[in-house]
Structure 1
Amino acid sequence: MIFSAPLYIKDRHCGYCNDTKSDYFALESQAKDSNGKSRGGSGDGGVGGELSTKQSIMVGSSITSMTCENYDELINQGFRRSGTFLYKSDLLRTCCRLYTIRTNMSYFKPSKKQRKAINRFIKEICPDESQLSPVVKNSFNLDRILEAQLKSTTFKIKFEPSKFSKEKFQLYKKYQVAVHNDDPSEITERSFTRFLCDSPFTGDEKRGTYDQWQSLDINNWTKETNEKRIGPTHACYYLHDKLIAISVLDFLPSGISSIYFIWDPDYAHLSLGTISGINELQMSQSLGYDWYYLGYYVEDCVKMNYKANFGGEILDVCSEVYYPMEDVKPYLQNGRLFVIGTIGETKQGSELDYEASGRTKGDTVTELNYNAAEDIFGGVDVYRKAKDEARQLLSDHDIGRSDEYKLPQVMPGLIPLSKIQQWLDVGIIGDETSIKIDMFGGVHKFLLGNLNREGRGFYIDCIRLFGLEKMKNSTMILQ
């Protein structure tokens, strides 16, 4: 993976809640203080002073190159991509809690509204339903939607590389103006390309093989194929040869990741967002992918909580394991932060002792005890301790951070400073650690001990964000 310096980005405007929230706090202890000052205190490393004003906060990095396997791992750490920009939310300080959600057919139970949408869509694309298998009265057959698409003479889905075309851009602009009330003058071909066409994946993954593209033909979903598609993809929906929707997808080793869905407002009655979700769930299962990643789920945001209609699991970013949505939903009420803990577990800074628990990252865990977020992030001692740990790193290992690269001393999903200190003390990270840095027009190898204080701080922040193993095979770009 090749990436630029991570940035901690604050914005007063939030596109999820449109700045309408009055209760935007991660913890109940924060919400109870009408001044917005939590028990965490204020100042460097705390959260109290930062919460007096509603903010949307993310950590992000521009990615020059990575594999789909890299991104698969990053998604399961809570990251998402927008073009070549990789980001994750600061769940403690931002106004909306953005949780990674994934599902598969075992979780999906079509609701009455979804069944109506499916029947309406089938009638549109296959008016002569006598062509389809008969349905028992008062029953519902989900496979009928696939059969209708196979037999329709007016509807088709074309899978192709994520490349720009005038036809795609015109539909995108129409959608953004009508559905999201965007200013037409601000919607450009370049912004569309950067958002939904550009990707940081390798050339082979972008192009794909003939067998990979053939596997996506709807006629081949239920047939054995030699090769599964891996890479960025546009699924283009056509009705009477008119482009009416685009599903922007990443095909990854563990599943299909939905990036964005664009639909023609003139066809709102077809509920194309629902149809695309069901299509992609069925395709995931038929082609042998384990998961369908729906992006971020926001419990208290109408634009984002519809994803619960597909069932599934929610990622706990601190442990990097998933929990069934039904189990954790009570912890998400009012947009709160959740971190699952087990009574008797020990705390280390901003993490629980997950290594001792035997949980495996990326797995599904169905046993849960309580929401430990308040215990981990709600006390002033947590932030005082993190300040002391930062000072200790500077004292023991001459590690400091400039304002440009600085990440919070405490943040859900970052490796705690206590763990960094432990790795430095036992030599897992040391002066002889080799680092690749792209600078002055080329890639150079350095030893950690030969970097200045700022460079060492930059490297440590990258480890905290991406993880130690990923950093061993990555190149950092200094600009």
Structure 2
Amino acid sequence: MRHTLPIAPQFYVTAPQPCPYLDGRMERKLFTALQGENADRLNNSLSQQGFRRSQNVLYRPSCAECSACLSARIDVRRMTLSRSQRKILRRNEHLTRKTTSPWATEEQFTLFRRYLDERHADGGMADMDVFEFAAMIEETPIRSRVIEYTDELRELQAVSLTDVLDDGLSMVYSFYTPDRPRAGLGTFMILDHVRLAQELDLPYVYLGYWVPGSQKMGYKANFSGLEIYLGGEWQPMNDPEAYSHETHPLSTDPIAEQVANIQLPDRHPTGQRG
């Protein structure tokens, strides 16, 4: 099914498939291609409206009877560290951050496979080979970086594929060694991205989707300063228990209405009009 606005891009909706977050649910995504000279502006604009990037595609959940998936970001100006988060920073203070261009390496893939086999052996990426991994890292038409964390022996411990937006850092995908379960490396990478955003004077760190009722996504609610995209706007999340994961046939607007409400960037920014 295709839905078209008066100007590019074109939006499509996927066929329903089993939801990876909530048992017994079916998921559906609204998506568009990310390409051309306007890719950066489109990515910035749609990221601010709850979309996420996967290679050359921007997508947002659009399930028929469920609206549990909520795009989440940290307002770094409001974020304060909890006692446990301070401990995690201390446990990983020996790690060194290195930022590189989005280029896949054998060392990254080896760590990626170990991470999947230990943590997500039955997930949708479990069968990803080295070529698909390279595509995930390298196929990006926008400003993306690979952020690596190494220990004192220069051994790779954690990796994040991160997009640099006008208003923040978007953590597209992260993975880390499964050999240090008490180190809290997943949390550490988010905390370090908050520090990096502060260094770059960027106000937000985008975390993808928070899903109430999903154990896989529950950790995102542990960060103070968290905002969620709900009802067409970003709002502070104060009480995670106040958000429902119950289904309702009227919880999602029709696809055509969703597309009509998407705000697209000016195709001819100031100073570049034809």
| The one of 5, 21, 29 aligned to 1:16 | 21
Letter in 2 for 1:74: L
Aligned to 1:263: 176
> 5+ unaligned residues in a row in structure 2: which ranges?
1-6, 269-274
Following superposition, the deviation at residue 409 of structure 1 comes to 7.2
1-structure distance, mates of 2:173, 2:81: 22
User: Does the Cα contact within 8 Å between 1:82 and 1:196 map onto a contact in 2?
Assistant: no
User: Does the Cα contact within 8 Å between 2:28 and 2:64 map onto a contact in 1?
Assistant: no
Which moves more between the two structures, 165-174 or 58-67? 58-67
2-structure distance, mates of 1:56, 1:471: 31
Letter in 1 for 2:243: L
Q: Is 1:167 aligned to residue 11 of structure 2?
A: no
Following superposition, the deviation at residue 472 of structure 1 comes to 5.6
Q: Is 1:200 aligned to residue 172 of structure 2?
A: no
Partner SS, residue 177 of structure 1: helix
Following superposition, the deviation at residue 200 of structure 1 comes to 2.4
User: Does the Cα contact within 8 Å between 1:3 and 1:62 map onto a contact in 2?
Assistant: no
Percent identical residues: 23
Following superposition, the deviation at residue 162 of structure 1 comes to 1.0
Structure 1 residues 117 and 185: alpha-carbon distance in aligned structure 2, compared to 1, 3 A threshold: closer
2-structure distance, mates of 1:306, 1:98: 14
The two structures have a TM-score, normalised by structure 2, of 0.82
Structure 1 residues 164 and 465: alpha-carbon distance in aligned structure 2, compared to 1, 3 A threshold: farther
Which structure 2 residues correspond to residues 316-335 of structure 1 after superposition, within 5 A?
316=230, 318-319=231-232, 321-326=233-238, 329=240, 331-333=242-244, 335=245
Structure 1 residues 4 and 274: alpha-carbon distance in aligned structure 2, compared to 1, 3 A threshold: same
Following superposition, the deviation at residue 185 of structure 1 comes to 8.0
Structure 1 residues 87 and 117: alpha-carbon distance in aligned structure 2, compared to 1, 3 A threshold: same
Higher relative contact order (CA 8 A, sep 6+): 2
| The one of 298, 305, 313 aligned to 2:227 | 313
Following superposition, the deviation at residue 167 of structure 1 comes to 1.3
Partner SS, residue 18 of structure 2: coil
Deviations 1:433-453 (A, max 9, x none): xxxxxxxxxxxxxxxxxxxxx
Following superposition, the deviation at residue 9 of structure 1 comes to 1.1
Which structure 2 residues correspond to residues 394-409 of structure 1 after superposition, within 5 A?
none
Greater C-alpha radius of gyration: 1
Partner SS, residue 16 of structure 1: coil
Partner SS, residue 64 of structure 1: coil
Q: Is 1:300 aligned to residue 213 of structure 2?
A: yes
Give the root-mean-square deviation of aligned CA atoms.
2.9
User: Does the Cα contact within 8 Å between 2:26 and 2:63 map onto a contact in 1?
Assistant: no
2-structure distance, mates of 1:109, 1:97: 26
Q: Is 1:176 aligned to residue 116 of structure 2?
A: yes
Structure 1 residues 113 and 185: alpha-carbon distance in aligned structure 2, compared to 1, 3 A threshold: closer
Q: Is 1:69 aligned to residue 41 of structure 2?
A: yes
Which structure 2 residues correspond to residues 124-203 of structure 1 after superposition, within 5 A?
125=94, 155-182=95-122, 186-201=127-142
Instruction: Please state which structure has a larger fraction of its residues in helix.
Output: 1
| The one of 8, 22, 27 aligned to 1:56 | 27
Following superposition, the deviation at residue 415 of structure 1 comes to 3.7
Which structure 2 residues correspond to residues 442-453 of structure 1 after superposition, within 5 A?
none
Structure 1 residues 247 and 3: alpha-carbon distance in aligned structure 2, compared to 1, 3 A threshold: farther
Aligned to 1:410: 254
| The one of 147, 150, 157 aligned to 1:244 | 157
Matched residues, number: 258
Aligned to 2:70: 99
Deviations 1:173-232 (A, max 9, x none): 11111110148982212221232331122xxxxxxxxxxxxxxxxxxxxxxxxxxxxx20
Following superposition, the deviation at residue 5 of structure 1 comes to 4.7
User: Does the Cα contact within 8 Å between 1:263 and 1:272 map onto a contact in 2?
Assistant: yes
Partner SS, residue 279 of structure 1: helix
Letter in 2 for 1:281: V
Partner SS, residue 35 of structure 2: strand
Letter in 2 for 1:232: S
2-structure distance, mates of 1:182, 1:161: 30
Following superposition, the deviation at residue 104 of structure 1 comes to 2.6
Deviations 1:265-321 (A, max 9, x none): 1122321111111111111112211111111111111111211111211112x43x2
Deviations 1:442-477 (A, max 9, x none): xxxxxxxxxxxxxxxxxxxxx62744x54866xxxx
Partner SS, residue 61 of structure 1: strand
The two structures have a TM-score, normalised by structure 1, of 0.49
Aligned to 2:272: none
User: Does the Cα contact within 8 Å between 1:162 and 1:197 map onto a contact in 2?
Assistant: yes
Which structure 2 residues correspond to residues 202-221 of structure 1 after superposition, within 5 A?
none
Which structure 2 residues correspond to residues 414-433 of structure 1 after superposition, within 5 A?
415=257
Structure 1 residues 285 and 13: alpha-carbon distance in aligned structure 2, compared to 1, 3 A threshold: same
2-structure distance, mates of 1:252, 1:172: 25
User: Does the Cα contact within 8 Å between 2:43 and 2:58 map onto a contact in 1?
Assistant: no
2-structure distance, mates of 1:471, 1:105: 28
Partner SS, residue 217 of structure 2: helix
Letter in 2 for 1:259: V
Instruction: Please state which structure has a larger fraction of its residues in strand.
Output: 2
2-structure distance, mates of 1:331, 1:172: 35
Structure 1 residues 185 and 234: alpha-carbon distance in aligned structure 2, compared to 1, 3 A threshold: closer
Structure 1 residues 299 and 173: alpha-carbon distance in aligned structure 2, compared to 1, 3 A threshold: same
User: Does the Cα contact within 8 Å between 2:75 and 2:227 map onto a contact in 1?
Assistant: no
Structure 1 residues 118 and 470: alpha-carbon distance in aligned structure 2, compared to 1, 3 A threshold: closer
Aligned to 1:121: 92
Letter in 1 for 2:55: G
| The one of 178, 201, 204 aligned to 1:291 | 204
> 5+ unaligned residues in a row in structure 1: which ranges?
22-53, 126-154, 202-230, 338-372, 379-407, 417-462, 474-479
1-structure distance, mates of 2:47, 2:126: 33
